[in-house]
Amino acid sequence: MAEKEISNKNSLRRKFRLGEFLAEYIIKGVAFCSFAVIILIFVFVFKETLPIFSPKEETATKQEFLQSESYGDEPATESSSQMSDYSSFTSDKKDVADIKNLTGKEWQPVGEDPKYGLFPLIMGSLKVTLIAILLGAPLAILAAIYSALFAPKRFKELIKPAIELLASFPSVVVGFFALITLATFFQEVFGWTFRLNSFIGGVAMALAVIPIVYTVTEDAITAIPKYMTEASLALGANKWQTALFVILPAATPGVFAALLLGFGRAFGETMIVLMATGNAPLSTLNPFEPVRTLSATIGAEMAEVVVGDTHYTVLFLIGSLLFIVTFLINAIAEFYVRAKLMKRFRGE
Amino acid sequence: MNNKLLGKSIIAFSFVSVVLIISALVFMLLEIYLGGRSYLSWEFLTQPPKEGMTEGGIFPAIVGTVLLVIIMSLACIPIGTITAIYLNEYANKKSIFTKMIRFAVNTLSGVPSIVFGLFGLGFFIQFVGAGMDKIFTPEGELNWGQPNILWASMTMAFLTIPIVIVSVEESLKAIPDDLRAASLALGATKWQTIWKVVLPNAVSGILTGSILAIGRGAGEVAPILFTGVAYFIPHLPSKLTDQFMNLGYHIYVMTTQSTDVEATRGIQYATAFVLLVCTFSLSFIAIVVRYRFRKKLIS
């Protein structure tokens, strides 16, 4: 009724306002979608893992077909030989993924007595990620220092697009490159028994980690207030002294954030490890043996499981694990590091 | 003296790492180009695979990738652009709602692509698709509740929304407030200002964001692994419920799961090269657009 009064007063204005009102709320609604997406991801990835937490007695008849997973001329490993026989069987065994089964040291989801031990997978992920960070991060950080502080302007304009091109490399192409060129090269040079191993995966992953570490580090360095650099130069320090003793210490939280984000990226990356690490769920510390990472497990096995099956549920659990880990890493990088940076620049 | 040496070695080391990174990039490009060179031809691009995928071209994979990217863009570009407009034009920077959205966008860009794939499977196929089937085909026929190109594109769209948002927001931020103030002072409403003044000035940002998103969507494989991609289908996808072939997935299956990996090496290289050319030209265009835009701003 109040509305009617207004419209009687000046009908022109009301029409206007309706448009404005709609525009604002539609825009707000769509913006909310982006927020809803993350909630949806959260809900729907976790929802599928729920059966694990509510144990049930189930002796269902199921059929599973598993493709053989020989990657190139990789020698058959313990598990892949067991997996490569096409098995269709009725399962009246206990196929449960309880805590005991999940914390086991064996990942062997197919067979008479499936084992869903996540330990080798987590270790595989950590191994590849660490190798990638150890190889990629120093290169990326040094490159960022060079391009932000020392590089001539012309050269700088070449470095940035080059890194952007590297970032736009599809991970499946990096994986392909690692699988075919890198693996063969390294095996010829070092004579490894396993052509595909976690080191090859790590090297390839480093290529994926470099752009993100570089970008964040470079941003952190360029975000340092000019007065700090100028004060240092005015006191008689030269360029590299300023870089080493003034700029770098000020940028450490940013570099730390870069490392974290690189870690998150490498931890969740799928195609590279799926193609280049040999995919055998072994739990050894030797970097030259094949590994299977969390992400690669999902990628390799999801297509073949029965929906609602224990194996399916465990794969979703792995997905949730990846989600949580990357979520936490990003949150730390975001909040902690930003707070620290702000504090430092305010000179507290 | 010692210090001088230290300084020189720092500069030298950092220079060497730049050179290493760039040479790795060039080496990868050369290797893939040289490996696939002899296979690249017009026929390779326009023929379907033949002889059990050991010969012929990659035409269906190209079409599949293009369709995927188009459907994805229809979803991610509008949503991303509008969210960016909200964040930059409407939002009260300090409200919790805004902070929530910003945090969600940041988080979204860090979610591993394989998790998007799981999400696509759990949400689009098992929930939305199966739900639609229950409503439209009560006989229990599977229509939407299985992997198809629509669900794959939607999954990919979710992955690429943050890319669009970041890029559009950057260009919105660069527009001087004077322009908005001038428009409002002349009596334009907020929406008119956005539509007639702000957006035309943000076109390059929207363009850059879209191109980057498309490049990403064309190259990602993990999100579509179980939401719609197929190893081989004899016909091109003609409706939204069809499965499709994809360049990245083609590389993956040809190198790891085909019957004769060695015999198809050339095809694999050539496919990788085609995919690289696509994503590279896209990101190159994006770099040029952005560079020009920044130049325009400075002048």
Stretch A64-73: mean pLDDT: 41
Could you give the CA distance from residue B197 to residue A164 in angstroms, rounded to a whole number?
31
Q: What's the pLDDT band for A84 if we cut at 50, 70, 90?
A: very low
Instruction: Give the tokens for residue A118.
Output: 């996540």
B293: pLDDT strictly greater than 80: no
Whether residues A36 and A123 share a domain: the answer is no
**What's the confidence (pLDDT) of residue B73?**
95
Q: Is residue A93 part of a domain?
A: no
- Quote the DSSP letter at residue A190: H
Amino acid at A89: F
* Binding-face residues of B in 206-265 toward A, CB within 8 A: 212, 215-216, 218-222, 225-226, 248-249, 251-252, 255-257, 261, 265
**What's the confidence (pLDDT) of residue A63?**
37
Q: Give me the percent of chain B exceeding a pLDDT of 90.
A: 44
Q: Give me the percent of chain A exceeding a pLDDT of 90.
A: 25
Lowest mean pLDDT among A227-241, A258-272, A279-293, B7-21: A279-293
**What's the confidence (pLDDT) of residue B275?**
93
Which residue in A26, A34, A46 has the most chain B C-beta atoms within 10 A of its own C-beta, making it the best mutation to test that interface?
Answer: A34
Q: What's the pLDDT band for A16 if we cut at 50, 70, 90?
A: low
Stretch A30-37: mean pLDDT: 86
Whether residues A43 and A124 share a domain: the answer is no
Q: Is residue A152 part of a domain?
A: yes
Mean per-residue pLDDT over chain A, rounded = 79
Stretch A168-197: mean pLDDT: 88
Q: Given B18, B35, B252, which is nearest A172 (Cβ)?
A: B252
Put simply, the answer to whether A307 touches B118 (Cβ < 8 Å) is no
Of residues A177 and A336, more confidence is placed in: A177
Q: Is residue A80 part of a domain?
A: no
Q: Where are the domains of chain B?
A: 1-39, 41-298
Q: Given B18, B90, B106, which is nearest A24 (Cβ)?
A: B90
Q: What's the pLDDT band for A224 if we cut at 50, 70, 90?
A: confident
User: Which chain B residues have a beta carbon less than 8 Å from that of A258?
Assistant: none
| Fold held by B41-298 | MetI-like fold (1.10.3720)
B248: pLDDT strictly greater than 50: yes
Q: How far is B252 from chain A (nearest CA, A)?
A: 7
Put simply, the answer to whether B287 touches A16 (Cβ < 8 Å) is no
Stretch B108-134: mean pLDDT: 90
Q: Which residue of A has its CA nearest to B105?
A: A34
Whether residues A144 and A229 share a domain: the answer is yes
Q: How many A×B Cβ pairs under 8 Å?
A: 272
A227: pLDDT strictly greater than 60: yes
Q: Is residue A103 part of a domain?
A: no
**Residue range(s) defining the domain that contains residue A29:** 2-47
Could you tell me how far CA B157 lies from the centroid of its own chain? 8
Cα atoms found within 13 Å of the Cα of residue A97, Cβ hemisphere only:
25
A77: pLDDT strictly greater than 60: no
* Binding-face residues of B in 37-76 toward A, CB within 8 A: none
Domain closes at, from A47, A65, A83:
A47
Q: Count CB atoms within 10 A of the CB of residue A62.
A: 17
pLDDT in tens, A132-165: 999 999 999 999 999 988 888 888 888 988 998 8
Amino acid at A293: T
Q: What's the pLDDT band for A318 if we cut at 50, 70, 90?
A: very high
Q: What's the pLDDT band for A263 if we cut at 50, 70, 90?
A: very high
Put simply, the answer to whether B279 touches A319 (Cβ < 8 Å) is no
**What's the confidence (pLDDT) of residue A130?**
94
Stretch B108-113: mean pLDDT: 90
Q: Given B121, B126, B225, which is nearest A299 (Cβ)?
A: B225
Query: Which residues, 6 or more positions from A19, have their beta carbon under 8 angstroms from its beta carbon?
Result: B189, B191
User: Which chain A residues have a beta carbon less than 8 Å from that of B249?
Assistant: 172
Q: How far is B43 from chain A (nearest CA, A)?
A: 22
A341: pLDDT strictly greater than 90: no
- Are A295 and A273 within 8 A, CB to CB? yes
Put simply, the answer to whether A38 touches B22 (Cβ < 8 Å) is no
- Are A261 and A211 within 8 A, CB to CB? no
pTM: 0.85
Stretch B27-32: mean pLDDT: 92
**CATH number of the domain within which A292 lies:** 1.10.3720.10
Could you give the CA distance from residue A273 to residue A197 in angstroms, rounded to a whole number?
9
Q: Which residue of B has its CA nearest to A320?
A: B115
**Is B146 an interface residue toward A (CB < 8 Å)?**
no
B20: pLDDT strictly greater than 60: yes
**Is B101 an interface residue toward A (CB < 8 Å)?**
yes
Query: Which residues, 6 or more positions from B72, have their beta carbon under 8 angstroms from its beta carbon?
Result: B153, B154, B156, B157, B160, B213, B214, B217
> Positive or negative CA dihedral for B146, B150, B152, B154?
negative
Q: How far is B96 from chain A (nearest CA, A)?
A: 12
Of residues B178 and B7, more confidence is placed in: B178
Which residue in A71, A84, A168, A219 has the most chain B C-beta atoms within 10 A of its own C-beta, making it the best mutation to test that interface?
Answer: A168
Stretch B234-250: mean pLDDT: 86
Q: How many domains does chain A have?
A: 2
Q: Is residue A85 part of a domain?
A: no
Q: Give me the percent of chain A exceeding a pLDDT of 70.
A: 80
**Is B14 an interface residue toward A (CB < 8 Å)?**
yes
Of residues A59 and B11, more confidence is placed in: B11
Helices (H) and strands (E) in chain A, counts: 17, 2
* Binding-face residues of B in 151-170 toward A, CB within 8 A: 158, 161, 165
Stretch A120-142: mean pLDDT: 93
Which residue in A149, A214, A271, A274 has the most chain B C-beta atoms within 10 A of its own C-beta, making it the best mutation to test that interface?
Answer: A271
Put simply, the answer to whether A302 touches B225 (Cβ < 8 Å) is yes
Put simply, the answer to whether B256 touches A268 (Cβ < 8 Å) is no
Lowest mean pLDDT among A228-242, B49-63, B105-119, B196-210: B49-63
A70: pLDDT strictly greater than 50: no
**What's the confidence (pLDDT) of residue A66?**
40
Q: Given B28, B79, B122, which is nearest A177 (Cβ)?
A: B28
**C-alpha distance from residue A38 to each of A327, B82, B127 (Å):** 11, 17, 16
Could you give the CA distance from residue B107 to residue B101 in angstroms, rounded to a whole number?
10
Q: Is residue A263 part of a domain?
A: yes
**What's the confidence (pLDDT) of residue A89?**
42
Put simply, the answer to whether A161 touches B118 (Cβ < 8 Å) is no
Q: How far is A285 from chain B (nearest CA, A)?
A: 25
Q: Is residue A55 part of a domain?
A: no
Stretch A58-85: mean pLDDT: 40
A206: pLDDT strictly greater than 90: yes
Secondary-structure breakdown of chain A: helix, strand, coil percentages, each rounded to the nearest 5: 70, 0, 30
Q: What's the pLDDT band for A62 if we cut at 50, 70, 90?
A: very low
User: Which chain A residues have a beta carbon less than 8 Å from that of B7?
Assistant: 238-241, 244
